């Protein structure tokens, strides 16, 4: 099972890199702990405390800031 999950993860990574810029895809790695906490909450009823919720908010904000598209700069004269 671990081999299947690893191959699936690497395949998804390659697909995302082909469709988007590498820097945008790399920012998504910060969501791995968030998704692990969400799965632990869903599958094992592990409680999410205030510290974990704050960490999720900070990680999500960081990913949004890192992957957002900025307008092209206007050339100076």
pLDDT in tens, 10-65: 888 888 888 877 777 777 778 888 888 888 899 999 999 999 999 999 999 988 88
Residue 1 has pLDDT above 70, yes or no: no
Predicted local distance difference test score (pLDDT) of residue 16: 81
Does the predicted TM-score (pTM) go above 0.75?
no
Predicted local distance difference test score (pLDDT) of residue 46: 92
Q: Transcribe the chain into DSSP letters.
A: -HHHHHHHHHHHHHHHHHHS-HHHHHHGGGGHHHHHHHHHHHHH-----HHHHHHHHHHHHHHHHHHPPPPPPPPP-
């Amino acid at each position: 099972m671990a081999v299947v999950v690893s191959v699936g993860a690497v395949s998804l990574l390659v697909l995302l890199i082909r469709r988007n810029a590498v820097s945008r895809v790399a920012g998504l790695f910060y969501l791995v702990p968030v998704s692990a906490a969400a799965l632990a909450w869903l599958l094992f009823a592990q409680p999410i405390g205030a510290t974990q919720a704050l960490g999720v908010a900070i990680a999500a904000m960081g990913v949004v800031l890192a992957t957002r598209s900025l307008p092209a700069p206007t050339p100076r004269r």
